[in-house]
Structures are given as structure tokens and as C-alpha cells.
Amino acid sequence: MKIWLKIIAILLLVYVHVGGLLFDVPHLNILNETIRALYFHVPMWFGMIFLFLMSVIYSIRYLNNPNVEYDRKAVEYANTGMAFGVLGMLTGMLWANYAWGSPWSGDPKQNGAAIAMLVYLAYFVLRGSLDNQEQRGRLSAVYNIFAFAAMIPLIFIIPRLSSSLHPGSGGNPGFNMYDLDNRMRMIFYPAIISWILVGIWITSLRVRLRTIEDKIADLEYGKN
């Protein structure tokens, strides 16, 4: 990852964390100051979706051209995306405990996100259960496409078809004037961009580590 992208990410993160805690926000009932969770909780999910999208793109590229580099990128993007999802889930549950009265209320958005993450967990189980590199790459790439296709309705469509407690769900588009005003957008969008950049950064480190691992395995194999 280019150094200037890292610097942009850092500067945006500092701005987002200072502004997110200090700048003025709409005064709303029940939400009170927890409206600021938007700056820290929602970017986790946007980050997860972006990283899963990158993962599925590399899976499709792997199916077109079975280059082991694509397989590495696909799995590591999914790994980082999963970490973002766990953070999104935990921050959401902490917030829900005070906004909805309990950390888990079986809300369609919560259930959908949980099922989507389980579908992705199965991706890692599938990879772990196959020894042959080519077979693992091909089968998991096909499964990854299914997992991404399953995530979209689980997170974006089903919560809007039923009545969800989650802001931005229940028939409303996510970005309407009641959820987000212009002051909040000035922090919310940079927050999304900066966390996506951090996700790419972590992924690039993990891809390099995996490359080293594979090379060492090759060296060991070559000796025998």
C-alpha cells in the first residue's frame, strides 16, 4: 500500500475521532449522545462490505486465471472483513443495550448480519478442510461468490422488508434527512474512507505474510 494513502488514512482518522467526539450533533430523544456511534460503528460495516467485495472480486479473478496471488488476496480480504464485522457487531450490541434495552433483541438487521457472518465463517471452514492448493482455491472461490450473494439480501434487503428497530431500516433508505444531517456527513464519510483504507492496509500486510509463508513452504518442499 502506498505511503500517501496511509498518511491520508491517519489524518482522516485523527480528524474523525476528534470531530466525532466534539462536534455538534442533532439533539434527538433516546439517542442523545449515542448518535455519535454512527461515526464509529457504521464505518465498521461499510469496511466489512467493501473488504468482502474486494474478496469476491479476487475470487472471480482466481476462477478466470488460477493465479495463487489472487487466492491469497481473496482469503485475506475476507479475513480482515470478518474482523471489521466482529467489531461492528460488538459496538452495535453495546449501543443496542442502551438504545433498545438489550444487546440482542432479534432485530432483522442484527439477525441478518449474524447469519451473513456465519456464512462467511463457513468460507474459512471450507478452506481449512482442503489440503490441495488448487482445489482449495477453486472451491473456496466458488463458495465466496455464494457468500457475497447471500450477504447482500441479509444485510440490505430483508431488514427493510420487515420492521426493524435499526436506524435506516424499516422501509427507509439508509441516508435520509432524519438519520443524517449535513454536519454529520462531514465526519461520517471521512470515517468510512479512513477505515476502508485501514482495512486495505491490514490486508496488504496479511497478504505479504501469507506470501512469505507459502514461499517457506515451497523451500521446505523443494528440499525433500
Report the interface residues with another protein, using CB under 8 A: 10, 13-14, 17-18, 21-22, 198, 201-202, 205, 208-209, 212, 215-216, 219, 222
Give the residue with the Cβ less far from another protein, 60 or 83.
83
Give the residue with the Cβ less far from another protein, 118 or 209.
209
For residue 187, what are the CA distances in angstroms to 23, 36, 126, 180, 193? 9, 10, 39, 11, 10
Kindly state the smallest distance separating residue 174's Cβ from another protein, in Å.
Answer: 26
For residue 209, what are the CA distances in angstroms to 114, 128, 134, 215? 29, 18, 20, 10
Give the residue with the Cβ less far from another protein, 9 or 56.
9
Q: At which residue does the C-alpha cell 422488508 appear?
A: 161
Kindly state the smallest distance separating residue 12's Cβ from another protein, in Å.
Answer: 11
Kindly state the smallest distance separating residue 62's Cβ from another protein, in Å.
Answer: 21
Give the residue with the Cβ less far from another protein, 25 or 113.
25
Kindly state the smallest distance separating residue 124's Cβ from another protein, in Å.
Answer: 21
Whole-angstrom distance, CA of residue 182 vs CA of residue 160? 24
Q: How many CA atoms lie within 13 A of 123 on its CB side?
A: 32
Kindly state the smallest distance separating residue 31's Cβ from another protein, in Å.
Answer: 17
Residue 39 contacts by C-beta under 8 Å, 6 or more apart in sequence? 16, 19, 20, 184, 187, 188, 191
Whole-angstrom distance, CA of residue 142 vs CA of residue 63? 8
Whole-angstrom distance, CA of residue 222 vs CA of residue 224? 6
The residue type found at 147 is A
On whether the CB atoms of residues 85 and 117 are closer than 8 A, the answer is yes
User: What sign has the CA pseudo-torsion 9, 90, 59, 108?
Assistant: negative
Kindly state the smallest distance separating residue 154's Cβ from another protein, in Å.
Answer: 29
Give the residue with the Cβ less far from another protein, 39 or 46.
39
Give the residue with the Cβ less far from another protein, 39 or 50.
39
Kindly state the smallest distance separating residue 219's Cβ from another protein, in Å.
Answer: 7
How is residue 22 written as a grid cell? Answer: 466534539
Give the residue with the Cβ less far from another protein, 75 or 155.
75
Q: At which residue does the C-alpha cell 442484527 appear?
A: 110
